[in-house]
Amino acid sequence: MRDVIGVILNAKHLTALTGAGVSAESGIPTFRGKDGLWNKYKPEELATPQAFARNPELVWKWYAWRMDIVFNAKPNPAHYGFAELERLRILKCIITQNVDDLHERAGSKNVLHLHGSLRKIVCTKCDYSEYAEKPPKIPPLPKCPKCNSLLRPGVVWFGEMLPQDVLSKAIDEMYKSDVVIVAGTSAVVQPAASLPLIVKRNGGVIIEINPSETALSYIADYRIEKPAGVAMKEIVGEIKRALSLETP
């Protein structure tokens, strides 16, 4: 852990790529774990435009259920740890695959959502979009107040392009990073999982926080095999000691 602290303190541009694992300690099921969201269904059954076209009510019910879990969940020490590193001006940007807003609710300001957000509901036809305070009641299927077309969750489904502006900002951040913390992701979903390779190719350092092995473990310079909440609490504590700030 000591050399990880040194790497983080000496980083010129530190960023983080996070996945469902950082929200696991908030009680939000991950995708591919034993309690995974996909266990009952397979991704292609639900998180795809085809599934939505075929059975919008089933897909909307699944998202309304997930929105309920996420909107009632609380950020955990992993989210607070990243927010604290940003407040200490050590962490420059969080690139998240997650569609929950727990990083923001923990105080993180600079967050890029590669796969969209459950807080967004958008129109399938026009540019209308709204902020979801609470999950919609399904049925009835939610309709656009501007053009009366079907509304959909503001997330990126499999087979859909990532929002170009967000993806190019994320790639930019990776080119600027000399250190990237990859936390709570199985690094299976592309193109998100390939982003840390940019840092590696530029001679940067990858710190992986994950209790298990992932598709990126083989190129991680450091692996902290602990839950992100535990690891981030330790890291922030060590950083503050090193900066000889009093841990409140």
Q: What is the CA radius of gyration of the chain?
A: 18
- Strands 205-209 and 91-96, by their bridges, are unpaired
Binder among 56, 142, 184, 204 for ligand BV8 (CB under 6 A): 184
Instruction: Measure the CA–CA gap between 204 and 56, rounded to whole angstroms.
Output: 44
Q: Give the CA angle between residues 117, 44, 98 to the nearest 5°.
A: 25
Binder among 30, 108, 117, 177 for ligand BV8 (CB under 6 A): 30
- Which of ligand BV8, Zn ion, none is residue 92 near (CB under 5 to 8 Å by kind)? none
Of 46-54, 99-107, 127-135, 184-192: span binding Zn ion (CB under 5 A): 127-135
Q: Does 144 bind Zn ion (CB under 5 A)?
A: yes
User: CB of residue 181 vs ligand BV8: minimum separation in angstroms?
Assistant: 11
- Which of Zn ion, ligand BV8, none is residue 186 near (CB under 5 to 8 Å by kind)? ligand BV8
- Which of ligand BV8, Zn ion, none is residue 32 near (CB under 5 to 8 Å by kind)? ligand BV8
Q: Give the CA angle between residues 64, 66, 68 to the nearest 5°.
A: 70
- Which of Zn ion, ligand BV8, none is residue 99 near (CB under 5 to 8 Å by kind)? ligand BV8
Of 22-30, 61-69, 143-151, 177-185: span binding Zn ion (CB under 5 A): 143-151
- Which of Zn ion, ligand BV8, none is residue 214 near (CB under 5 to 8 Å by kind)? ligand BV8
Q: Hey, which residues between 117 and 176 contact ligand BV8 (CB under 6 A)?
A: 155-161
Q: Do residues 101 and 119 make contact, with C-beta atoms less than 8 angstroms apart?
A: yes
Cross-strand pairs, 116: 155
Instruction: Measure the CA–CA gap between 239 and 244, rounded to whole angstroms.
Output: 8
Binder among 146, 188, 201, 225 for Zn ion (CB under 5 A): 146
Q: Does 147 bind Zn ion (CB under 5 A)?
A: yes
Binder among 98, 108, 117, 177 for ligand BV8 (CB under 6 A): 98
Q: Hey, which residues between 61 and 90 contact ligand BV8 (CB under 6 A)?
A: none
**Which residues lie near ligand BV8 (CB under 6 A)?**
19-21, 24-25, 30-33, 36, 47, 97-99, 115, 155-161, 184-186, 188-190, 209-212, 214, 227-228
Q: Please list the active-site residues.
A: 115
